[in-house]
């Protein structure tokens, strides 16, 4: 329902901003099994040509159940999909997420690209 509610706003933003590659923060296997869908993918899939470049390990507990300090101490939970190796290092990358709280999730995702030599990396979240 959120995807439909915010479609026009996100679509408008997307038309004003161009990126060579658009990816997203994926749900962990446990979260995907529990919900039955990937909320971030569903939020943006009708607007962007999303590339699945990241995978997420299951964490000890969901981010929503952590306080600020626990979130900031969360270790790296992402790893790159093989498709990331097919990208050119000079391409602009956009990483999409749903909610920005501390920025830890997006920084971990950013690090996956940065460690592989990408420097033109941007992020977008629906809310903060």
pLDDT of 30 over the 90 cut: no
CA atoms within 13 A on the CB side of 88: 5
Q: Which residue has the higher pLDDT, 60 or 82?
A: 82
pLDDT value at position 72? 66
Instruction: Please check whether residue 86 is in contact with residue 63, taking contact to mean a CB–CB distance below 8 angstroms.
Output: no
Mean pLDDT of the chain: 89
Split at pLDDT 50, 70, 90, the class of 43 is very high
Convert the pLDDT of each residue in 17-28 to its tens digit.
999 999 999 998
Whole-prediction pTM value? 0.87
Split at pLDDT 50, 70, 90, the class of 81 is very high
């Amino acid at each position: 329902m959120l995807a439909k509610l915010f479609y026009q706003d996100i679509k408008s933003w997307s038309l004003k901003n161009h990126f060579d590659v658009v990816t997203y923060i994926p749900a962990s296997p446990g979260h995907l099994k529990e919900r039955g869908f990937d909320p971030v993918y569903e939020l943006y899939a009708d607007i962007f040509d999303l590339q699945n470049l990241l995978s997420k390990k299951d964490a000890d507990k969901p981010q929503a159940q952590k306080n600020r300090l626990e979130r900031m101490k969360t270790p790296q939970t992402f790893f790159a999909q093989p498709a990331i190796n097919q990208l050119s290092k000079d391409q602009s990358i956009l990483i999409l997420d749903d909610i920005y709280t501390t920025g830890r999730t997006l920084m971990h995702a950013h690090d996956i690209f940065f460690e592989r030599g990408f420097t033109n990396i941007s992020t977008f979240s629906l809310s903060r």
